Amino acid sequence: MKRNVVLNLMLSSILGIILSCTPASQAVPQPENTIHLNQLGYLPDGYKSAVAIGSSETFSIIDVQTQTIVHKGTLGEPQYWEASGETVRLADFSSFTQPGSYRLQVGASNSHEFDIDRNVFSEVSTASVKAFYFHRAGVTLEEKYAGVYARAAGHPDTEAIIHASAASTSRPEGSTISSPKGWYDAGDFGKYIVNSAITVSTMMSAFEHYPEKSGILETNIPESGDETPDLLDEIRWNLDWMLTMQDTEDGGVYHKLTTKSFPGMIMPEMDTESRWVVMKTTAAALGFAASMAQASRVYKPYDMEFSEECLVASLKAWNWAQKNMDVYYKQPEDIQTGAYDQFDKPFNDEKFWAATELSITTGENYEAPIPTPLLVPEWRDGAALAAMDQLNHESDEDVKKAFMVLADSLLSEQMNSAYAVSNDAFRWGSSGDFLNQAMVLIYTYRISGDKAYKDAAQSTFDWVLGKNPNGYSFVTGFGEKTPMHIHHRPSEADDIVEPQPGWISGGPNPENKADCGADAYLSPYPAKAFIDELCSWATNEIAINWNGVFVYVSIALDAEG
Ligand code: 9MR
């Protein structure tokens, strides 16, 4: 189904009237559905699968124009999935390649409509980049770029206060620095270096690995039409902010810039509390060093001066980290915003990540051993992303071996999975985990040419767009059943029924059951522990890192056709 903006807006107003007199949990009427599939659709030559629940042995594909059956198939063997408590069968219709609009029928059940189309992911890919524009701090979003999501500027951050934890001789407690621009991290308005670093790097890697597709994305932002691709213009907004978070005196990088506690559900310009710059950490310095080293080579053809500035900043942060390899983030007592702390492991992966990016950019050898086993990337771990960048520049047998071990473990997990996905361990931001797995898999296809990895990447990506037991496409505004009540301040406060489009909801997470109150129902099955409620920050918030990897995977699948 292509997203029809006008129709959606009309539906929004009708729903708005209904919404005003019904409780949120009943607000969006959903079709009865025992078939879960990618609600946008599939690439003609790509892997195509849906999940069916029920006793039927066969499935049909119906052309929605002609209402005729165009393909018939047999469902796979029933498989029980502990994560969802369901017995399901897979419908594999990869052999059906005819472009068009369809629905899948199993017994008396019908799926959502979906397309088979060469450009099926183009629009959502563009929207997922555009979402970052909606999150720009310190600037008015004009209607010609933001449409109905136009808003006043918030958080100029030209007088961010140095917190006691960040004080130094030249920047004592209570002094101020100017730290404007950047993106809001998530449903809150904080700006966090660790999460910014993995996000900008994942997006720059999308650009480096798939330059043709990412170079032509048009997002209608103020910089559109300049010499630089829109994707890089958008990333630059955050890189400019990140540079201000370095203490140029010693090269250390502050962990975050936020208010002392989370504000209410208000628009950015209403949040006028003081914002604080909080302590320098090793994780911030190394993530920053990695991103800036990568930015230095990515932006070189477009802005030589900026490229040089990034490299100087990267080296300074790297040098600071060499002398400060164990400065973990410790949340000060008077600060309650996000921590992005990590006590589970040392900073080996961040060190490898920064060393790799610096080595690629400078051609010199920055030493750091590859941490094995490599893990799926996330905000806590940039090593596999570094491995991908390394392999994108030159083949290194050790790195390739470690990367293939990771990809093969994902592939084998998927082979045994009832939902044909590489994940059954659910936690905060599970949508991001699925997408990072899909990124590893699609990149493995690129270096191996083995279609099994591409199919696995597609199948994992399908999860986020609706092939999951919740039946939600977790991308706002894309798909028939999509979150309407994301934990996101502007979407709640802007009086527009539809949330900002193109954001990835965090997805099922059984870990935190307290956010909607002790009595709120959250499924005991981890894969179903999701509620589309505003209160559910642990399952229904959005965040830049999850969007960043969605950008990568949607571009990559599009590019690989
Ligand atoms: O994505 C983060 C998740 O991995 C952590 O478990 C969680 C709790 O510390 O925090 C998540 O990140 C949040 C951040 O701390 C503040 N902004 C919103 C982020 C997304 O929920």
User: Cβ < 6 Å from ligand 1: which residues?
Assistant: 185-186, 188, 190, 338-340, 428-429, 537, 541, 543
* Segment (H or E) for 109: strand 109-110
**Alpha carbons within 13 A on the beta-carbon side of 406:** 27
Q: Determine which one of 185, 233, 480, 532 is catalytic.
A: 532
Domain annotation covers residue 158: yes
Per the structure, how many domains does the chain have?
A: 1
How do beta strands 276-280 and 160-162 pair?
parallel
- Closest atom, ligand 1, to C-alpha of 542: 20
- Closest atom, ligand 1, to C-alpha of 185: 17
Residue owning the nearest CA to atom 6 of ligand 1: 428
Residue owning the nearest CA to atom 15 of ligand 1: 338
Q: How far is the CA of 340 from the centre of ligand 1 (A)?
A: 7
Three-state DSSP at 12 gives helix
Which residues does 27 contact at the CB level (< 8 Å), separation at least 6?
Answer: 15, 18, 19, 484, 485
Confidence grade of residue 518 (pLDDT, cut at 50, 70, 90) = confident
Q: Is the pLDDT of residue 343 over 60?
A: yes
Confidence grade of residue 520 (pLDDT, cut at 50, 70, 90) = confident
Residue owning the nearest CA to atom 5 of ligand 1: 428
Neighbours of 228 (CB within 10 A): 18
Tokens at residue 153, please? 């500027």
Domain annotation covers residue 300: yes
The average confidence (pLDDT) of the chain is: 93
Tokens at residue 95, please? 């052999």
Neighbours of 242 (CB within 10 A): 25
Q: Which domain holds residue 230?
A: 122-394
- Closest atom, ligand 1, to C-alpha of 546: 1
Domain annotation covers residue 286: yes
Q: How far is the CA of 338 from the centre of ligand 1 (A)?
A: 6
Confidence grade of residue 3 (pLDDT, cut at 50, 70, 90) = very low
What does the alpha-carbon distance between residue 189 and residue 162 come to, in Å, rounded to a whole number? Answer: 18
pLDDT > 70 fraction of the chain, expressed in percent and rounded:
94
Confidence grade of residue 176 (pLDDT, cut at 50, 70, 90) = very high
Q: Is the pLDDT of residue 102 over 70?
A: yes
Total count of residues recorded for the chain: 561
Mean pLDDT of 100-121: 96
Q: Is the pLDDT of residue 200 over 80?
A: yes
Confidence grade of residue 347 (pLDDT, cut at 50, 70, 90) = very high
Domain annotation covers residue 311: yes
Confidence grade of residue 54 (pLDDT, cut at 50, 70, 90) = confident
DSSP string for residues in 511-523: S---TT-TTS---
Q: How far is the CA of 187 from the centre of ligand 1 (A)?
A: 10
What does the alpha-carbon distance between residue 445 and residue 485 come to, in Å, rounded to a whole number? Answer: 36
Is 163 tagged catalytic?
Answer: no
Q: Which of 9-18, 243-252, 442-451, 508-517 has the lowest mean pLDDT?
A: 9-18
Domain annotation covers residue 457: no
CATH number of domain containing 276: 1.50.10.10
Q: How far is the CA of 7 from the centre of ligand 1 (A)?
A: 34
Q: Is the pLDDT of residue 478 over 50?
A: yes
What does the alpha-carbon distance between residue 76 and residue 417 come to, in Å, rounded to a whole number? Answer: 12
Q: Is the pLDDT of residue 449 over 80?
A: yes
Domain annotation covers residue 442: no
This prediction's pTM: 0.94
Residue owning the nearest CA to atom 4 of ligand 1: 428
Mean pLDDT of 122-139: 98
Domain annotation covers residue 470: no
Q: How far is the CA of 533 from the centre of ligand 1 (A)?
A: 17
The C-alpha R_g of the chain, in whole angstroms, comes to: 23
What does the alpha-carbon distance between residue 222 and residue 227 come to, in Å, rounded to a whole number? Answer: 13
Contact between residue 203 and residue 552 where contact means Cβ atoms under 8 Å apart: yes
* Segment (H or E) for 102: strand 100-106
What does the alpha-carbon distance between residue 148 and residue 498 come to, in Å, rounded to a whole number? Answer: 10
Segment 369-399, tens digit of pLDDT: 999 999 999 999 999 999 999 999 998 999 9
Q: How far is the CA of 57 from the centre of ligand 1 (A)?
A: 42
Q: Determine which one of 188, 208, 515, 533 is catalytic.
A: 188
pLDDT at residue 344, as a whole number:
67
pLDDT at residue 374, as a whole number:
97
Location of structure tokens 């043709």: 212
What does the alpha-carbon distance between residue 123 and residue 125 come to, in Å, rounded to a whole number? Answer: 5
Query: Using the 8-state DSSP alphabet, how is residue 256 labeled?
Result: E
Confidence grade of residue 512 (pLDDT, cut at 50, 70, 90) = confident
- Burial of 227 per CB tally in 10 Å (0-12, 13-18, 19+): exposed
Which residues does 354 contact at the CB level (< 8 Å), separation at least 6?
Answer: 286, 287, 289, 290, 293, 314, 317, 318, 321, 366, 368
Is 396 tagged catalytic?
Answer: no
Query: Using the 8-state DSSP alphabet, how is residue 542 labeled?
Result: B
Is 255 tagged catalytic?
Answer: no
pLDDT at residue 432, as a whole number:
98
**Alpha carbons within 13 A on the beta-carbon side of 213:** 24
Segment 21-52, tens digit of pLDDT: 333 333 333 344 489 999 999 999 999 999 99
What does the alpha-carbon distance between residue 196 and residue 243 come to, in Å, rounded to a whole number? Answer: 11
- Residue of 259, 340, 487 with the most ligand 1 atoms within 8 Å of its CB, for mutation: 340
Residue owning the nearest CA to atom 13 of ligand 1: 338
Q: How far is the CA of 500 from the centre of ligand 1 (A)?
A: 20
pLDDT at residue 551, as a whole number:
98
Mean pLDDT of 529-549: 97
Query: Using the 8-state DSSP alphabet, how is residue 535 labeled?
Result: T
Domain annotation covers residue 466: no
- Residue of 183, 188, 258 with the most ligand 1 atoms within 8 Å of its CB, for mutation: 188
Is 485 tagged catalytic?
Answer: no
What does the alpha-carbon distance between residue 556 and residue 561 come to, in Å, rounded to a whole number? Answer: 8
Segment 394-417, tens digit of pLDDT: 989 999 999 999 999 999 999 999
